[in-house]
Amino acid sequence: MLIFEKGQEGRKMSILPECDVPISLPKEDDQRKKSLHLPNVSENEISRHYTEAAKKAYGVNDGFYPLGSCTMKYNPKINEYIASLPGFAQIHPLQPEHTVQGCMEVLKTTEQYLCEITGMDRMTFQPAAGAHGEFTGLLLIKAYHESRGDGKRTKIIVPDSAHGTNPASASMVGYSVISIPSGEDGGVDLEELKKVVGEDTAGLMLTNPNTLGLFDRNILEITNIIHEAGGLTYYDGANLNAIMGMIRPGDMGFDVVHLNLHKTFSTPHGGGGPGSGPVGCKNLLAEFLPNNLVEEKNGYLFKSPVQSTGQVKSFYGNFLIVVRAMTYLFMLGKEGIPEASKHAVLNANYMMAKLKDVYDMAYPRTCMHEFVMSLSRLKKENGISAMDIAKGLLDHGIHPPTMYFPLNVSEALMVEPTETESKETLDQAITVFRSLYETAKLNPEILHQAPVNTSVTRLDEVRAARNLILRYDFSDKETDKDDTEN
């Protein structure tokens, strides 16, 4: 039941005191005439409504969440407490600098930590999500080439295994995209790369380890090929959790990088945001970063780079997300950061080892923090798709892996267990995966029907797109006085 269907006309909460000054209203002509339908509910009804919503949702706190390329690690509760401190939550973004030295210390210190982890020189926190970071990083690349009067660089090279946002971001910045296929080992095909690189190459976008869960062994050669052609290299930080503290994008030859604080640095996903996608870069790009970098000089002050690309959103980014990430970084520190990566990789390889005799691995070699299974054989022999296995997992209280991605593996399921899961959890999941395989072989019909233990069964997505219902319709509740009343 939607919240609009609960409550009664006239029911409400008492939030506001009486107005203690004379009333001023807009001129008649500027006053709202259109009716406004909002819920008429008590606090109790609101509270129960969202408790019910929580029961019909699934968070990291509810169980195993092995979602490839999304790093759904546990979200430490200390992060939430710190982010709720009035000294962070109740600060106006336009307070004078001397009254926000704590906030600026958060930005500066987190910048220093993340620059050390990525091997970059400077970092902006303005981008609000990974894709927003991609957009910002590509703007830096564009501004760099333009500042040198190099107008012929119009193309961005992106591997076919890349995240879908990579080509979309390149397009938003006015670049055309050259997609290059992966080689037999799952890495970038060097011969293909050499064929397409040239005077029109603005840059390359890459994540390493890539979305097949593999570390590209030729990485130094790849970044070198791009640099020799005069292009720049962009590191998509979605998979940083596999390598932090072990190797750095900056040392692998990348010029610009975005991070996903909500992935690698344990800030909650919130059902799809707010995230944070800070962008780091080498010095050659720093003068193009967005406004308001924090400098330290007898205290902290904001300074905008001379050739800044301006703003990609208001103010300084999703600040409270940065606070959470910094809390996490302080806890882990020098030793804990690589420890997290090591165990993320250990967990993934363990699960892969325990499943590879039944499920086909797309690339059966040592993986990083995630691995990709291909269910095309199961599909052919038993009619069971990646979707069917995913929906089967729902009935066992496990969030499914990423489905049908990467695009270059057919019937792909991409599993990322993360370092915060215990061996017992992994063992249970392995048992479930194996039993679903048995079911697929012996009793496939059950999986076509899955899920059955959820609040709704499989939903008709085609109908949703054909017969668009995108809001609640109040029209049958309208009375004739509506739209004339004030």
Site for another protein in 286-325 (CB under 8 A): 290-291, 309-321, 323
Q: Is 177 in the site for another protein (CB under 8 A)?
A: yes
- C-alpha distance from residue 457 to each of 15, 386, 394, 450 (Å): 39, 17, 10, 7
Q: Which of 307, 377, 457, 478 binds another protein (CB under 8 A)?
A: 457
Contact 125, 111 (CB under 8 A): yes
| Angle of helix 101-118 versus helix 319-355 axis, rounded to 10 | 30
Is 362 one of the binding residues for another protein (CB under 8 A)? no
Residues binding another protein: what is the number (CB under 8 A)?
191
- Name the residue nearer to another protein (CB basis): 233 or 347: 347
- Residue 202 CA to residue 223 CA, distance in Å, equals 13
Which H, E and C letters describe 128-186, residue by residue? Answer: CCHHHHHHHHHHHHHHHHHHCCCCCCCEEEEECCCCCHHHHHHHHCCCEEEEECECCCC
- Rule CB under 8 A: say whether 237 interacts with another protein: no
Distance CA 297, CA 150 (A): 36
C-alpha–C-alpha distance, residues 302 and 304, integer Å? 7
374 binds another protein (CB under 8 A): no
d(CA 481, CA 91): 44
Nearer to another protein, 4 or 198 (CB): 4
**Residue 340: HSE in the Cβ half-sphere, 13 Å Cα cutoff:** 23
Site residues for another protein, 20-39, by CB under 8 A, read 20-27, 30-34, 36-39
Instruction: Please report how many Cα atoms fall inside a 13 Å half-sphere around the Cα of residue 309, on the Cβ side.
Output: 24
Write the single-letter amino acid at 36.
Answer: L
Tell me how far the alpha carbon of residue 472 is from its chain's centroid: 29
Choices 189-197, 198-206, 217-225, 437-445; region in contact with another protein by CB under 8 A: 217-225
SS3 198: coil
The least distance separating another protein from the CB of residue 300, rounded to whole angstroms, comes to 10
Nearer to another protein, 19 or 306 (CB): 19
Burial of 335 (0-12, 13-18, 19+ CB in 10 A): exposed
Query: Does residue 75 interact with another protein by CB under 8 A?
Result: yes
Q: Taking CB under 8 A as the criterion, which residues in 239-268 touch another protein? A: 243, 245-248, 251-252, 262, 266, 268
- What residues numbered 80-139 form the site for another protein, per CB under 8 A? 80-82, 85-96, 99-103, 105-106, 113, 116-117, 128-132, 134-135, 138-139
Q: Is 442 in the site for another protein (CB under 8 A)?
A: no
Cβ-based nearer residue to another protein, 231 or 451: 451
CB of 154 to another protein, least distance (A): 11
Radius of gyration of the chain (CA): 25
Identify which of residues 353 and 432 has a Cβ nearer to another protein in the complex: 353
Q: Does 227 bind another protein (CB under 8 A)?
A: no
Residue whose CB is less far from another protein, 34 or 481: 34
Nearer to another protein by Cβ, of 134 and 230: the residue is 134
Select the span of 197-205, 376-384, 438-446, 457-465 touching another protein (CB under 8 A): 457-465
| Cβ nearer to another protein, comparing 410 with 449 | 449
Cβ neighbours for 227, distance < 8 A, ≥ 6 positions apart:
233, 253
Identity of the residue, 146 or 381, whose beta carbon is nearer to another protein in the bound complex = 146
